[in-house]
């Protein structure tokens, strides 16, 4: 089977574009660039009291514009595809997304992938954007982007969220084909939209190989109903894991406050499926409920006190590179073809962060070995 890992280019300060030369050597399927206003970690525990990472950066929210960094990466690389992971359709008008994507694709000479999603609370609500009906808004934005890309002249469109009146986008796609669109989706409606329209797919969360396979089946069934080749949709995944060289190091990692805080991204329902009560109650919706600015120190300290490290270990692959690679291979068997191995153990502190890149590379190597044809 053909499996190739993806890489991340962090779009936070300090920005390190020098790594692009190493990522452009053919090892990686693509380089993925996040697009956030803020991170998932609460301000209240980004302090030296809880993590020495706060001594290296004054804030976890020093984000740069993902599309702008993608444009810079396009000019500094030659072969590797570049994908936003993901840009939401709430903060940017689809006409601007359509133009920006064509621009970056010309800079990249046909290597840009427009990764899109419907948005999340922390990047939208604090800034006053309208977050009602995000999935319907997403589907209409997707239609507008495609409409502008294939138009030969002025376009009129009257929708629920967007209106075009003699709008035009005469910039032709690089090489005659517009950029592929990959969609971040986990809910039923978004999975259906992915099958109808996407060239690639990330789930926002896939907690077991069976969960991944079930969601991929929905995507492919939707594609078949739309008359599309379901196997032409690239199955991807940002695989969060905890990497450590041994059990003692893993115990230290999973006890770290920022690692425990990963459970903020997990819904109470999902955690209950693994047999654990969520520290923030049975109505917590995971990343959709995160607003780092309003999660007070008192609430987070109580959350950390209530967090069972075993609950963290239950929801993410963990252990040595060999152990984690074997678990990710189960996702490959479920249909995954482009994994990005994201070591959350790096959030345990500066020492763990320094070791993380080598652990990830070792895990990639072991996964590729496991996936080799017999």
Judge whether residue 89 has pLDDT over 80.
yes
Superfamily of domain 6-245+318-372: Luciferase-like domain (3.20.20.30)
The pair of three-digit structure tokens given for residue 3, joined into one six-digit string: 């499996």
Q: Rounded to whole angstroms, how far apart are CA atoms 74 and 109? A: 8
Q: What pLDDT, on a 0 to 100 scale, did the predictor assign at position 124?
A: 92
b/e map 144-173, b = 16+ CB within 10 Å: bbebbbebeeebebeeebbebeebebeeee
Region 109-129: mean pLDDT is 94
| E-only strand ranges, the chain | 7-8, 31-33, 82-84, 87-88, 112-117, 155-158, 163-167, 181-184, 200-202, 234-243, 318-319, 338-343
Judge whether residue 370 has pLDDT over 90.
yes
Instruction: Quickly tell me which residue has 């010309």 as its tokens.
Output: 106
Total-model pTM: 0.96
Q: What pLDDT, on a 0 to 100 scale, did the predictor assign at position 8?
A: 96
In whole numbers, what is the pLDDT of the chain averaged over residues? 95
Q: What is the pLDDT of residues 197-228, one digit of tens each?
A: 999 999 988 999 999 999 999 999 999 999 99
3-state secondary structure of 241: strand
Q: What pLDDT, on a 0 to 100 scale, did the predictor assign at position 281?
A: 93
Q: What is the pLDDT of residues 282-316, one digit of tens each?
A: 999 988 788 776 788 898 999 999 999 999 999 99
Q: What pLDDT, on a 0 to 100 scale, did the predictor assign at position 374?
A: 65
pLDDT bracket for residue 57 (50, 70, 90): very high
Judge whether residue 106 has pLDDT over 90.
yes
Q: Quick one: 111 exposed, middle or buried, by C-beta within 10 A (0-12, 13-18, 19+)?
A: buried
Judge whether residue 76 has pLDDT over 70.
yes
Q: What is the pLDDT of residues 121-153, one digit of tens each?
A: 889 988 999 999 999 999 999 999 999 999 999
**Please, are residues 315 and 274 in contact by the beta-carbon 8 Å criterion?**
yes
Q: What is the pLDDT of residues 226-254, one digit of tens each?
A: 999 999 999 999 999 999 999 999 999 99
| In the chain, domain spans | 6-245+318-372
CA 135 to centroid of chain Cα atoms: 17
* CA trace torsion 340, 243, 270, 191 (10° rounding): 10
- Pick from 85, 73, 161: which is nearest to 116 by CA? 85
In this structure, the number of other CB atoms found within 10 A of the CB of residue 75 comes to: 11
Q: What pLDDT, on a 0 to 100 scale, did the predictor assign at position 95?
A: 98
């Amino acid at each position: 089977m053909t499996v190739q890992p993806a890489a991340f280019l962090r779009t936070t300060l300090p920005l390190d574009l020098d790594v692009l030369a190493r990522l452009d050597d053919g090892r990686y399927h693509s380089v993925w660039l996040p697009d956030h206003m803020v991170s998932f970690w609460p301000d209240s525990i980004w302090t030296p009291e809880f993590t020495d990472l706060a001594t290296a950066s004054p804030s976890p929210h020093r984000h740069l514009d993902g599309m702008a960094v993608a444009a810079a990466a396009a000019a500094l690389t030659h072969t590797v595809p570049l994908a936003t992971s993901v840009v939401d359709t709430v903060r940017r008008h689809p006409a601007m997304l359509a133009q920006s994507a064509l621009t970056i694709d010309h800079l990249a000479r046909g290597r840009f992938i427009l990764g899109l999603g419907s948005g999340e609370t922390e990047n939208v609500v604090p800034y006053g954007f309208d977050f009602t009906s995000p999935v319907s808004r997403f589907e209409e934005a997707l239609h507008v982007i495609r409409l502008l890309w294939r138009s030969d002249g002025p376009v009129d469109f009257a929708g629920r969220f967007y209106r075009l009146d003699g709008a035009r986008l005469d910039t032709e796609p690089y090489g005659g084909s517009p950029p592929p669109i990959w969609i971040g989706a986990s809910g039923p409606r978004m999975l259906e939209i992915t099958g109808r329209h996407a060239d690639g797919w990330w789930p926002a969360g896939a907690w077991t190989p069976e969960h991944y396979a079930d969601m991929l089946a929905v995507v492919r069934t939707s594609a078949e109903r739309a008359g599309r080749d379901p196997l032409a949709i690239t199955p991807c995944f940002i695989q969060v894991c905890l990497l450590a060289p041994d059990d003692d190091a893993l115990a230290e990692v999973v006890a770290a406050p920022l690692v425990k805080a990963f459970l903020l991204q997990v819904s109470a329902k999902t955690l209950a499926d693994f047999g654990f009560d969520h520290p923030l109650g049975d109505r917590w919706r995971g990343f959709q409920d995160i607003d780092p600015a309003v999660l007070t120190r008192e609430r987070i300290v109580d959350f950390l006190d209530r967090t069972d490290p075993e609950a963290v270990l239950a929801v993410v692959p963990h252990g040595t590179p060999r152990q984690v690679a074997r678990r990710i291979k189960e996702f490959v068997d479920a249909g995954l073809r482009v994994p990005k191995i994201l070591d959350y153990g790096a959030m345990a502190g500066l020492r763990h962060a320094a070791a993380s890149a080598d652990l990830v590379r070792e895990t990639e190597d072991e996964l590729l070995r496991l996936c080799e044809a017999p």
